[in-house]
Amino acid sequence: MVRSLPVLMLLLIGVCAAAPVALGGDPLPPPSLAGQLFAITFLTEKGKPHDKLAFTPDGASSVSLGAGTIKVAYKYSGKGKVVEFSGTFTDAKGTVTELTGSVSGSDIHGTIVTTAKDDDPQARNFNGTRLAKN
């Protein structure tokens, strides 16, 4: 029994670390994206300068793509260390921009789909890393 005690302790520590919960037994909420700033690169545009994706504290993500910037209201959810986000924005011309993706640690992956009025959707996948807090 004495020999198995260290093994039981390690198992208990592993189980507790794998399932973060609040004191009341409820799962902890996902980490907030507010204030996070990422440098992103579109997979089809390697070698071009990084674009920026910022999640502002007011619940809008600001995407700087080349010379332009769009703001997309976003929602997020997650389990453990992975946070998923999504949002949609429609401009005055009727162009719809959809932003979806996930953040894990300092890495971000996602897709921006732009659909101009009377046109086919244009999807752009991106990867990136966290730069800093905004």
Chain segment 14-28, per-residue pLDDT in tens: 334 444 444 444 444
Which pLDDT value is given to residue 117? 87
Q: Which of 1-5, 48-52, 56-60, 100-104 has the lowest mean pLDDT?
A: 1-5
pLDDT for 16? 41
In the chain, % of residues over pLDDT 70: 66
Mean pLDDT of the chain: 74
pLDDT at 30: 55
Query: What is the number of structural domains in the chain?
Result: 1
Rounded to an integer, the average pLDDT of 84-106 is: 91
Domain with 115 in it: 29-133
State yes or no: pLDDT of 73 exceeds 60.
yes
Please state whether the predicted TM-score (pTM) of the whole model is above 0.85.
no
The CATH number of whichever domain residue 123 belongs to comes to 2.40.128.20
What are the pLDDT digits (tens) for 76-92?
888 778 899 998 988 88
Asked if residue 45 is part of any domain, the answer here is yes
Average pLDDT of span 51-62: 77
Q: Does residue 9 lie in a domain region?
A: no
CA atoms within 13 A on the CB side of 119: 13
Residue 113: which residues within 8 A CB-CB, separation 6 or more? 97, 98, 100, 121, 122, 123, 124
Phi, psi (degrees; rounded to nearest 5) at 12: -65, -45
